[in-house]
Amino acid sequence: MRNPHEATAALEIASRTPLENLLPTFAKWSAWVAPDGDLEDAIDAMGEHLGETEGGYRFFQTLAILYWRLGDRELSIEYFHRCLRPASGLSAEIQQTEAEYATYDYDHISIHRDTVAAFMEFAPEWLAQCSGGTLIDAACGSGLAAPALKPYAGTLIGIDISSTMATRAQASGLYDQVIEADMVTTLTAKPASADIIVCMGAAYYLADLAPFMTACATALRPGGLLLFSDYSAPDHMGTGITFGGTRRYCRSKAHLRALAAHAGLSEAGLGSGIAFASPSLYWAFRRTG
């Protein structure tokens, strides 16, 4: 077996290869790590050696991105699932400190711009259905998505718990209102006030997504839409959490659909893309009643 850390480093380099050269580059890596031709066994052996460590996370996350770029979405998500452990017994929300936000040049880091761009490949079909209404950008951050959302909104409202991010969003001049507060609390206090709620790249902070789903159902007018991104977990896991990198809560499709149904939301659409360098699901739910 090749040294797993060397193999991971080589894989990370290969994963950044231009798309037109990606397949032959990956083939060379595969031949190097599995000279006997059994790539799956070689990957399993390296994964077992690395275990639930930062190195193991990097290895499987990179495989997930590489297979996504090669067009094998199913295998990509399968490898991402190997970055997770069950989240049972965990209740604390993942948090970043205000100091981190204050020193983080959020808008000029490509991974954030790419995440918004990928989500906006999915969202316009649904945004157009509520064009000209009240749109809430929940966990709006610095307002990076506002230029893409503004054309669909008669009124654009941003919510973020971070004072640093809320100030940046307000300074963009694109929001009609920015509220510095917890999004679940704020949405609960605004019954039947929104035509559409968008939340990209924030649901993974929440160990339990039920209060968020219920709050969105409360804030939406009948027929209103909720669009958000969330990472997937295998069906048997229900809710998982990544064991490396930025900690992310992830939910199985079945579990998330059950949460939505309980909140009074019906599934309208499902897409996928890359969010913060990991395969992500994009959900569209409509408020019933």
pLDDT per residue as tens digits for the range 74-90: 999 999 999 999 987 65
Burial of 245 (0-12, 13-18, 19+ CB in 10 A): middle
- At residue 110, the pLDDT reads 87
**pLDDT number for residue 201:** 85
Q: What is the pLDDT of residue 97?
A: 58
User: What interhelical angle do 39-50 and 54-69 show, nearest 10?
Assistant: 150
Q: What are the residue ranges in the chain where pLDDT is below 70?
A: 89-104
Long-range contacts of the stretch 21-26 (C-beta < 8 A, 24+): 22/66, 22/69, 22/70, 23/70, 26/66, 26/70
Check residue 99 and give its pLDDT.
64
> What pLDDT does 246 receive?
86
Residue 93 has a pLDDT of 54
For the question of whether the overall pTM of this predicted structure is more than 0.85, the answer is: yes
Looking at residue 1, what is its pLDDT? 80
